[in-house]
Structure 1
């Protein structure tokens, strides 16, 4: 649900999700253009045709990202996502949902996309996999 509007996964979302994740393979982490939240938003657009967080201001550094969150009235990425997506228990996260948790090579609290028992997180040298059940929080996409 986005601002009271329900988003749904489109037919064939599984193939689009897999293709989107493959497209990110090998991409290095760059704030504002190839970061963990951008990766998650891209997979959500691929699955649903909708960006669940469309009003995020542009940023090019960790400082600018934090300043943008505060400017929108949020204290954290988790708080921003909570305002846009329903949170679910980590154990109930399904393929395509978002999770937050530490991942090797990624920043603490990195966002990732569930692919099954693992989630893909965007790290400095590209995507890394981490067990979903190690995540701290999860949100439903469609």
Structure 2
């Protein structure tokens, strides 16, 4: 559940990640989303995720947990909603290049923040392929 003052904590968490360079397992898209959600709700929506340090390691973790994609992992923990219904703090997935299709991001208004190579990048929410509610 979103705690009182979640809006302020959402903004602060996004600012904390603005210039953080991408790093698998410590500063990647799912790590960013989980950190923002923890700041808003005081709980990790995907607890107990094993450590990994590469794209291959992330894919290996997904398989070891019985999932074939990040989307399936998130589906197992969060309620999906229509992309047009996503509000500030919710998560979205947008297509990206690489072996792990789909970059997770956090909605901050009309745009969602996603981890880029050198920090956060903004993408229009309505270009997302999927969305999940963070309560």
Superposition RMSD in Å: 1.3
Normalising by structure 2, we get a TM-score of 0.95
Normalising by structure 1, we get a TM-score of 0.91
Q: After the TM superposition, which segments of 4 or more aligned residues of structure 1 sit over 3 Å from their partners?
A: none
Match of 2:124 among 127, 131, 136: 131
Partner residue, 1:27: 20
**Partner Cα separation in structure 1 for residue 79 and residue 66 of structure 2:** 18
Partner residue, 1:81: 74
Partner residue, 1:12: 5
SS in structure 2 at match of 1:119: strand
Flag structure 2 segments of 5+ consecutive residues without an equivalent.
none
Shift of 1:55: 1.6
Residue correspondences, number: 133
Q: Is the 8 A contact 1:117 1:132 kept in 2?
A: yes
Shift of 1:102: 3.1
Partner residue, 1:92: 85
Flag structure 1 segments of 5+ consecutive residues without an equivalent.
1-7
